[in-house]
Structure 1
């Protein structure tokens, strides 16, 4: 049956973006095909002035209010205004919030949009891991300017595991291998050097790491990969590149990944402030 096109609107009032309330209202309305009820979101409501303006508008349009106010004080103000102006209203969170206050014997943080923020953080981490895997070991070096962090170093300095560890916390990381005789991507010296970290390691520790790999994959034990003179040349070559680029050098000898990651994050925080997404927001 076709509904009257002048149906009273439903105003979804929220201290946050109003997404949860809007979704709930729409999930109810979908049960009534061909309805003509407008749904209007009134987001980020917190002051008495906002409440007065919205409720006056609702009265003028003969509407109703569905609200998801997690702040107890703002919710009380809205309810009082609705009752004073005889507006029909539906509290979508209040009863549950009051119940949880009692059963948990604690006060809520009353911060709107926490669920949305949690979801945003989750997807940021997923995107960071995807980015890091796509930019591992010098892949897509032409796009490393979009990374939050760039790691550079010779083979077996732990670039990949450190990159993945940082990505798990939401940082987009690219890593670039330093190999004498192999061209270094020009982009390494075109990006912000404050986001580039050169990884170095003691020669003895590096040779031990490489020897273990040689044994594990049955390489020729006489390979240049573990020759002391060749390894020294690699480390010196990398050191000169780090100096040329003005990169912060981190010695990862015998350091757990967590320690090196914390060191990098501490340095970036001191350089760019606490908002790590500042330079490369998604």
Structure 2
């Protein structure tokens, strides 16, 4: 198997290297597998040396976007001593700009993104949405800007991620009649609760399509109209009990539903 093994080492997020690697690897469609491991926020020599040692043992190419001169020196020394393959995306151009302008670089990790606090808010919100997706950890409900409730296949996760990209901290919880509600949901203010309502027939079509795509039996209980109707009725009862904002999503795109939720957010400020 033809494989490319790369380590991204950065004293910030590492997105710059990731984008360049993606562009480069697109030129090698015959490479069967690309293993890219990202090591962000590296800010001390010990951590860097451990990563470099691992890269050497795994015969990986190190792609560096470091701005700290000390860490760059560690990388250069290690590579010179061991023969480690590496590319430094930052230093050559930084040195050229310094030579042309006479200005000293700040050597500040993440300076590009620190100019935009919204970037960090968005990254944090996306990480939050992933961590608290699908009711995996009910402790996240209290920290959420919104908690999205609904039965399976009502687009809770895509909606959560869309809102996270707008810097909202969103968790979601699937509603199943046989599964008791977590106690934490009862402590969430009703203004933060969003209930997605949808017709049983629409859910049936979505679930059947999902099962077909997976090559599974569409006659299962998961895609039974009577069962789905029971789930929808249960969910609507929960919405009323919790006094959640109810949004009918049968014919709405994710963007439309998100716009309604953002309007709710604006009105409660």
TM-score, L = length of structure 1 = 0.54
Q: Any runs of at least 4 consecutive aligned residues in structure 1 with deviations exceeding 3 A, and if so which?
A: 115-118
- Within the alignment, does 1:226 sit opposite 2:230 as a pair? no
- Within the alignment, does 1:246 sit opposite 2:243 as a pair? yes
| Aligned counterpart, 1:198 | 195
Residue 133 of structure 1, aligned match among 117, 121, 130: 130
**Residues 52-201 of structure 1: pairs in structure 2 closer than 5 A:** 118-201=115-198
Please list the CA deviations of residues 55-84 of structure 1 after superposition, one character each: whole Å capped at 9, or x if unmatched: xxxxxxxxxxxxxxxxxxxxxxxxxxxxxx
CA distance in 2, matches of 1:117, 1:173: 23
Aligned residues: 158
Query: Deviation of residue 220 (structure 1)?
Result: 2.0
CA distance in 1, matches of 2:140, 2:131: 10
**Alignment root-mean-square deviation, CA:** 1.4
Query: Deviation of residue 183 (structure 1)?
Result: 2.0
* Contact 2:113/2:120 (8 A) holds in 1: no
Cα distance change on mapping 1:138 and 1:116 into 2, 3 Å: closer
CA distance in 1, matches of 2:254, 2:152: 16
Query: Deviation of residue 219 (structure 1)?
Result: 2.0
Paired residue secondary structure (2:173): strand
Cα distance change on mapping 1:193 and 1:118 into 2, 3 Å: farther
- Within the alignment, does 1:237 sit opposite 2:234 as a pair? yes
Paired residue secondary structure (2:194): strand
Give the unaligned 5+ runs of structure 1: 1-114, 273-282
Query: Deviation of residue 116 (structure 1)?
Result: 8.4
Based on CA coordinates, which of the two structures has the bigger radius of gyration?
1
Query: Deviation of residue 192 (structure 1)?
Result: 0.9
CA distance in 2, matches of 1:179, 1:165: 24
CA distance in 2, matches of 1:141, 1:174: 9
* Contact 2:129/2:164 (8 A) holds in 1: yes
CA distance in 1, matches of 2:149, 2:163: 14
CA distance in 2, matches of 1:192, 1:262: 20
Residue 259 of structure 1, aligned match among 256, 261, 264: 256
CA distance in 1, matches of 2:264, 2:159: 15
CA distance in 2, matches of 1:258, 1:117: 28
